[in-house]
């Protein structure tokens, strides 16, 4: 039953809302208008909560409405359609005791969505969104962002009035704005909505003031009165700071652009316009006030960007995203050339190139610096090349000629040259010249060019040290008239001062055109002039030094030759003196008087021999030819020898003589026994010479450095006359003795300590002295890094000479009859058959015929000397096995080395009978010291030379044990593989080197000489 009259039907059907009439008891729908049926379907007879909201029971709104007889309003959502509705409900009595409830629902879903969106925005934006109720004088709503802006909770901010929110001045201005709005809206013709934006100062929670930007509008109520304000507040303090910072940055950018000479531009390629910054215009000399076009760009940069950039490409619209600029331009304003560098971004519109936006910078100073740096580097390289040419050992003329070419090419001059002054400075000669292609040389025309022809030249080049003219017509007339015929248009010349005088001058010519000479070119030419002057002086010093060196070498050679000849000439008669003295000794032993005479002769001869040896040793040391030959040395035997040799001197002078050996000292040490003996003989000899009472002692101590090496300390002490402190440094100088020393009383040459100290130093040690006058002296010898040797059978130097020799045939060769007589006398009573020869030719003939067992060969003889004779004898297979012992007065080590390469033995004149017998015994023993060299076939001889010629020459150069051992190992390996006949000789040689049997090693090595190229003979 429809409870509503028909007029109500028409009214409700026209409403844009859902209208239903409900039974007040069970909420069933009695009537639904057209809109309700449209939205909800046929719902009459269905409970409203089921029809409208899809519920199975009444909703809160229905229950509340049933309890309220008057009008009730609420919101509810349909669960099926998810639509929101604002519901209005009222009970109406349609008949007495008959009431219905009329419900009208408006769809507010879009309003709800707006509210949700507003809530999201207000919850997340930094600006504050607010609604102010002018009637209640408080905020009806403020977004939560107010807490971040003003430090106030949302609820606290909403409870505040405008007067509490704004500063007094801002509040007063806000009231003025509201009053203006009230007046404006009171006029019916000005009621359009107006949004205003103003800046207001607001208080924060801490009482601080912040500047805010407020955008708002005023809302009227139904009566036209101002009801509320809706607005947004933005914190302008930070924005204001950022704006100020931006303005400052823009200002700084402009200043930076000015300082950095950086200009910006925008080139519109479609409109063909050019917009540029103030700096751009200043850099390129453009007028800031006048408009600029693409044509201005082309006139500056010489190219339309459209010619090199893709303008339109549908497939690939942007092939080039930027344009780089790096070129020199000429400013239209003043014609000045500047370098600019920049980059422009390409911007496209609809696949068509439209803009170039970029910056350019004036890089003229940088380019000039780079150019100067490049020029400096090239100049430095050029100077280095000149130095390299002039200061290396090449041909001087070639070097200077090359320098002239380099100078001309580097400076791009047409001609470069050097003139050299005459000794009297009256003329100059063109000594070096280089010309560019097509420039005529002038050097042949400028030889001995008289300065009188150009009187102005010399004063200028001497006083000003330079002649510089970009146009020779500006020079004095005598110069311009002389230079013009040579085709010179510009000239630059600087003086060369060397060896304390004006050596000459260095010049450059420009012949094709006039030329301005730069300061850099002038300075460069001066630098090259200085370098050439230094090279000239260095060349002079080198010549002088070379001449001095040659003179020194010639002097040393002459000195060596003199000493060698002196030694030979003195040793030869000394051999006769000492030899005959020794022969006379047995016959005169019973005659005390004549025996004394004979002893004086022998002593004087020995002293003279010592002097000669000292002089030769000093000469070797000074020339660096003194050699050390370390070998295992028996320390105890060595000490015993020192004891036996000097004990007679101690007994004769009634002196105490002590020899001390530290316990635990190794028995054998590797050192040069001969040189150490020479050192200690000298020190002990001096000790006994200068000590008249007390004692002389010699001590050996050691300090271990490792398991195989020690440092040896030797002390020689005496209680003699001593040496004053002021004299102690002098006594080690050649030919020097202490001032108080009586030369007649003590004798000596002053060479002993000089040689002793230098020998110790050559052995790697040190010799020092402590001494007090009348108390005595102590000499300290330190020899570090001595190798401990394995004990070997030692041959004592005091070995008793053999009493008899085996039977043998001896060839005695000497051009001096006295020497032959002495040898015969020394060998008298021995089972020897002695044959004599007076020179080398005779010796060769006799040896070939007689085939002696041994030859005693003098070296220096007329016609053919002994060395040459020995060489020929060793080359002959017939006489090769014959042993040769050299008898020579030559005392230099170099000569001895050459002699030993051909002779098995070596006896230095003068010699004693014991020395002669010992040497003969060694070479005539039942077991020979060497194995004879076999005859080789030509093929074997060639094979031996190819394999070991270099090693042989190296070993024979210094005759060092280690070199000969290495050679022997190679020889034995070769013999075992290809030349079996050499096995005995190579095995014996290797055994001799490893056992340090020096004499045997040298004899065996000498047997190999004929197989190799002959070594250089001594002079």
Q: What's the rounded Cα separation, in Å, for the pair 216 and 162?
A: 14
Which runs of E-coded beta strand occur in 790-903? 808-813, 832-837, 854-858, 883-888
Fold of the domain built from segment(s) 392-517: Beta-Lactamase (3.30.450)
Q: Is the pLDDT of residue 749 over 80?
A: no
Say how far apart CA 643 and CA 666 lie, in whole Å. 19
Instruction: Tell me how far apart the 2 most distant CA atoms of the chain are, in Å.
Output: 199
Interval 862-889: pLDDT, tens: 888 888 999 999 888 888 889 999 988 7
Sign of the alpha-carbon torsion through 897, 902, 903, 909? negative
- Is it the case that residue 276 has pLDDT exceeding 50? yes
Average pLDDT over residues 340-361: 86
Q: Quote the distance between the C-alpha of residue 100 and its chain's center.
A: 110
Nearest to 867 by CA among 819, 899, 843, 845: 899
pLDDT-based confidence at residue 766 (cuts at 50, 70, 90)? very high
- The strand order across the sheet containing 18-23 reads 29-32, 18-23, 98-107, 84-95, 72-77
Task: Give the residue-averaged pLDDT of 394-417.
Answer: 91
pLDDT at position 611 over 60 = yes
C-alpha to C-alpha distance for 61 and 104, rounded to whole angstroms: 13
Containing 465, the helix (H) or strand (E) segment is none
Q: How far apart are CA 160 and CA 180, in angstroms?
A: 23
| Nearest alpha-carbon partner for 788 in 675, 670, 700 | 670
Task: Identify the residue whose tokens are 């039907």.
Answer: 9
Q: Cα–Cα distance between 861 and 839 in angstroms, integer? A: 6
Pick the CATH number of 808-925 from 1.10.150.120, 3.40.50.2300, 3.50.50.60, 3.40.50.720: 3.40.50.2300
The answer to whether the CB of 100 falls within 8 A of the CB of 22 is yes
> Which residues are registered as beta bridge partners of 658?
697
pLDDT over threshold 90, residue 513: yes
| Residue closest to 632 by CA, chosen among 883, 994, 964 | 994
pLDDT band at 225 (very low <50, low <70, confident <90, very high): confident
Digit-coded pLDDT (tens) for 381-394:
888 888 888 877 66
Asked whether the CA dihedral 872, 876, 878, 883 is positive or negative, the reply is: positive
Phi/psi class of residue 129: alpha, beta or left (left: φ > 0; alpha: ψ in -120 to 50)? beta
| CATH 3.40.50.300 corresponds to the domain 647-727+737-790 | no
Burial bucket for residue 98 (CB in 10 Å: 0-12, 13-18, 19+): exposed
The C-alpha atoms of residue 393 and residue 389 are separated, in whole angstroms, by 9
Domain 6-111: top CATH class: alpha beta
Separation in Å, CA 768 to CA 673, 696, 753, 760, 775: 20, 17, 11, 10, 17
534 pLDDT band, cuts 50/70/90, is confident
pTM given for the model: 0.38
> Residue 637, exposed/middle/buried by CB under 10 A (0-12, 13-18, 19+)?
middle
The predicted pLDDT at position 927 comes to 35
Q: Which class does domain 261-369 fall in? A: alpha beta
Lowest-confidence segment of 514-523, 734-743, 760-769 by average pLDDT? 734-743
Q: How far apart are CA 576 and CA 602, in angstroms?
A: 11
Q: What is the DSSP string of 193-256?
A: --EEEEEEEEE-TTS-EEEEEEEEEEEE-TTS-EEEEEEEEEEHHHHHHHHHHHHHHHHHHHHH
Domain ranges of the chain: 6-111, 125-241, 261-369, 392-517, 548-624, 647-727+737-790, 808-925, 938-1007
> Is 125-241's fold the same as 548-624's?
no
How many other C-beta atoms can be found within 10 angstroms of the C-beta atom of residue 260?
14
- Cis peptide upstream of residue 910 (ω within 30 degrees of 0): yes
Question: What is the architecture of the domain spanning 548-624?
Answer: Orthogonal Bundle (1.10)
Give the pairing type, strands 808-813 and 854-858.
parallel
Average pLDDT, the chain: 81
Query: pLDDT tier at 474 (50, 70, 90 boundaries)?
Result: very high
Greatest mean pLDDT among 93-97, 440-444, 568-572: 440-444
Show the beta-strand stretches assigned E in 108-225.
Answer: 128-133, 138-142, 195-203, 209-220
Residues 700, 715: Cα–Cα separation, whole Å = 7
What is the bridge-based pairing of β-strands 905-908 and 226-235? unpaired
Q: Where are the alpha helices (DSSP H) in 303-395?
A: 364-390
Average pLDDT score over residue span 142-146: 88
pLDDT digits (tens, 9 = 90+) for 574-588: 667 777 777 777 777
Q: What is the C-alpha to C-alpha distance for residues 245 and 743, in angstroms, rounded to an integer?
A: 104
CA distances from 930 to 719, 850, 925, 1005, 1010 (A): 50, 22, 11, 9, 16
CA-closest candidate to residue 486, choices 531, 456, 442: 442
Distance CA 451, CA 429 (A): 10
**Minimum mean pLDDT among 57-66, 847-856, 984-993: which range?**
57-66
Pick from 1018, 900, 888, 909: which is nearest to 959 by CA?
900
Please give the average per-residue pLDDT across 363-372, as a whole number.
Answer: 85
Q: Which residues contact 188 (CB under 8 A, 6 or more apart)?
A: none
> Is CATH 3.30.450.20 the right assignment for the domain spanning 125-241?
yes
Q: What is the DSSP letter of 307?
A: G
Most confident range, picked from 70-74, 320-324, 367-371: 367-371
- Tell me: the pLDDT tens digits for 928-949? 433 556 778 888 888 888 888 8
- What contacts 784, CB < 8 A, 6 or more positions away? 705, 711, 764, 765
Sign, CA torsion 33/34/38/42? positive
Predicted confidence at residue 779, as pLDDT, reads 93
Looking at residue 70, what is its pLDDT? 59
Say yes or no to pLDDT of 565 above 70: no
Give the residue with greater pLDDT, 929 vs 154: 154
At residue 476's C-alpha, the angle toward residues 470 and 480, to 5°, is: 60
| pLDDT (tens digit per residue) in 790-847 | 765 444 444 445 557 777 889 999 988 888 998 998 888 887 889 999 999 999 999 9
**Residue 660, pLDDT score:** 93
**How many other β-carbons are positioned within 10 Å of the β-carbon of residue 448?**
10
For 750, counting Cβ atoms within 10 Å of its Cβ (0-12 exposed, 13-18 middle, 19+ buried), the class is middle
pLDDT band at residue 1019 using 50, 70 and 90 as cut-offs? very low
Residue 745 pLDDT > 70: no
Give the separation between CA 818 and CA 814, rounded to whole angstroms.
Answer: 9
Residues in the chain: 1019
What is the per-residue pLDDT for 67? 57
Q: Say which range, 2-6, 332-336, 739-743, has the weakest mean pLDDT.
A: 739-743
What is the bridge-based pairing of β-strands 709-718 and 668-671?
A: unpaired
* Burial track 889-921 (b if 16+ CB lie within 10 A, e otherwise): bbbbebbbbbbbbbbbbbbbbbbebeebbebbb
Q: Which helix (H) or strand (E) holds 753?
A: helix 752-762
Q: Count CA within 13 A, CB hemisphere, residue 436.
A: 14
- Collect all residues with Cβ–Cβ distance below 8 Å to 433 and sequence separation of at least 6: 404, 415, 416, 417, 418, 441, 442, 443
Quickly state the pLDDT bin for 74 (edges 50, 70, 90): confident
Pairing of strands 209-220, 226-235: antiparallel
C-beta of residue 266 within 8 angstroms of C-beta of residue 355: yes
């Amino acid at each position: 039953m429809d409870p509503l009259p028909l007029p109500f039907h028409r009214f409700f059907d026209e409403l844009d809302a859902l209208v239903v009439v409900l039974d007040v008891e069970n909420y069933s729908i009695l009537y639904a208008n057209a809109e309700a049926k449209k939205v909800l379907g046929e719902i009459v007879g269905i409970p409203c909560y089921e029809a409208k909201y899809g519920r199975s029971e009444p909703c809160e709104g229905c229950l509340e409405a049933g309890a309220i007889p008057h009008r009730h309003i609420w919101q509810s959502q349909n669960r099926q359609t998810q639509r929101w509705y604002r519901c209005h409900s009222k009970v109406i009595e349609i008949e007495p005791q008959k009431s219905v409830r009329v419900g009208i629902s408006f769809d507010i879903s879009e309003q709800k969505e707006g509210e949700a969106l507003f809530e999201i925005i207000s919850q997340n934006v930094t600006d504050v969104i607010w609604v102010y109720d002018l009637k209640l004088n408080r905020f009806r709503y403020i977004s939560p962002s107010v807490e971040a802006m003003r430090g106030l909770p949302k609820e606290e901010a909403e409870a505040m009035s405008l007067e509490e929110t704004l500063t007094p001045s801002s509040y007063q201005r806000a009231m003025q704005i509201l009053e203006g709005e009230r007046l404006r809206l009171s006029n019916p013709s000005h009621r359009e909505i107006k949004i205003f934006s103003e800046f207001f100062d607001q208080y924060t929670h801490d009482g601080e003031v912040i500047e805010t930007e407020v955008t708002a509008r005023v809302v009227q109520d139904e009566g036209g009165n101002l009801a509320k304000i809706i607005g947004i507040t933005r914190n302008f303090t930070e924005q204001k700071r950022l704006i100020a910072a931006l303005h400052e940055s823009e200002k700084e950018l402009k200043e930076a652009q000015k300082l950095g000479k950086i200009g910006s531009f925008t080139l519109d390629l479609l409109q063909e316009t050019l917009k540029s910054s103030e700096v751009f215009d200043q850099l390129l000399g453009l007028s800031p006030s006048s408009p600029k076009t693409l044509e201005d760009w082309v006139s500056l940069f010489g190219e339309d960007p459209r010619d090199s950039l893709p303008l339109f490409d549908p497939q690939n619209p942007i092939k080039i995203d930027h344009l780089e600029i790096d070129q020199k331009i000429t400013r239209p304003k003043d014609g000045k050339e500047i370098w600019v560098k920049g980059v422009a971004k390409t911007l496209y519109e609809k696949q068509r190139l439209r803009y170039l936006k970029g910056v350019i910078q004036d890089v003229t100073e940088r380019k000039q610096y780079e150019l100067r740096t490049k020029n400096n580097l090239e100049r430095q390289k050029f100077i280095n090349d000149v130095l390299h040419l002039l200061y290396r050992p090449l041909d001087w003329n070639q070097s200077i000629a090359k320098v002239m070419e380099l100078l001309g090419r580097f400076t791009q001059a047409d001609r470069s040259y050097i003139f050299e002054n005459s000794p009297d400075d009256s003329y100059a000669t063109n000594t070096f010249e280089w010309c560019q292609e097509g420039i005529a040389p002038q050097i042949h025309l400028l030889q001995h060019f008289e300065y009188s022809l150009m009187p102005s030249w010399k004063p200028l080049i001497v006083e000003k040290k330079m002649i510089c003219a970009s146009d020779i017509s500006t020079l004095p007339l005598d110069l311009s008239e002389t230079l013009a015929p040579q085709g010179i248009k510009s000239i630059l010349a600087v003086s060369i001062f060397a060896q304390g005088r004006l050596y000459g001058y260095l010049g450059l010519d420009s012949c094709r055109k006039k030329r301005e000479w730069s300061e850099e070119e002038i300075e460069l030419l001066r630098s090259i002039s200085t370098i050439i002057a230094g090279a000239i002086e260095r060349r002079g010093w080198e010549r002088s030094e070379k001449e001095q060196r040659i003179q020194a070498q010639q002097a040393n050679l002459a000195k060596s030759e003199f000493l060698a000849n002196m030694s030979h000439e003195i040793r030869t008669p000394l051999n006769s003196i000492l030899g005959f003295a020794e022969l006379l000794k047995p016959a005169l032993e019973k005659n005390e008087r004549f025996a004394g005479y004979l002893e004086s002769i022998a002593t004087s001869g020995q002293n003279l021999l010592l002097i000669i040896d000292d002089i030769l040793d000093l000469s070797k040391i000074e020339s660096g030819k003194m050699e050390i030959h370390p070998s295992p040395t028996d320390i105890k035997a060595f000490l015993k020898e020192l004891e036996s040799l000097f004990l007679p001197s101690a007994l004769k002078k009634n002196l105490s003589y002590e020899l001390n050996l530290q316990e635990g000292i190794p028995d054998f040490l590797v050192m040069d026994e001969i040189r150490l003996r020479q050192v200690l003989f000298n020190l002990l000899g001096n000790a006994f010479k200068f000590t008249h009472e007390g004692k002389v002692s010699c001590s050996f101590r050691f300090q271990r450095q490792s398991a195989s090496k020690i440092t040896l300390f030797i002390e020689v002490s005496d209680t003699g006359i001593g040496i004053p402190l002021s004299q102690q440094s002098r006594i080690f100088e050649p030919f020097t003795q202490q001032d108080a020393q009586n030369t007649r009383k003590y004798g000596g040459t002053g060479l002993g300590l000089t040689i002793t100290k230098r020998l110790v130093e050559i052995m790697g040690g040190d010799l020092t002295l402590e001494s007090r006058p009348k108390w005595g002296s102590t000499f300290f010898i330190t020899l570090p890094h001595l190798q401990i040797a394995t004990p070997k059978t030692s041959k004592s130097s005091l070995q008793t000479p053999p009493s008899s020799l085996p039977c043998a045939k001896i060839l005695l060769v000497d051009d001096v009859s006295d020497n032959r007589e002495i040898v015969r006398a020394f060998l008298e009573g021995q089972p020897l058959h002695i044959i004599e020869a007076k020179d080398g030719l005779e010796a060769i003939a006799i040896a070939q015929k007689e085939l002696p067992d041994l030859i005693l060969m003098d070296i220096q003889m007329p016609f053919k000397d002994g060395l040459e004779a020995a060489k020929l004898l060793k080359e002959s297979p017939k006489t090769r096995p014959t042993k040769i012992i050299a008898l020579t007065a030559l005392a230099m080590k170099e000569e001895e080395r050459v002699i030993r390469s051909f002779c098995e033995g070596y006896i230095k004149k003068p010699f004693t009978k014991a020395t002669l017998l010992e040497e003969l015994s060694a070479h005539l023993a039942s077991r020979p010291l060497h194995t004879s060299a076999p005859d080789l076939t030509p093929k074997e001889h060639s094979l031996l030379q190819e394999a070991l010629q270099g090693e042989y020459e190296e070993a024979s150069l210094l005759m060092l044990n280690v070199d000969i051992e290495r050679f022997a190992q190679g020889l034995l390996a070769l013999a075992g593989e290809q030349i079996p006949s050499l096995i005995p000789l190579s095995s014996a040689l290797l055994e001799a080197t490893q056992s340090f049997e020096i004499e045997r090693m040298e004899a065996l090595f000498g047997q190999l000489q004929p197989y190799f190229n002959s070594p250089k003979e001594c002079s």
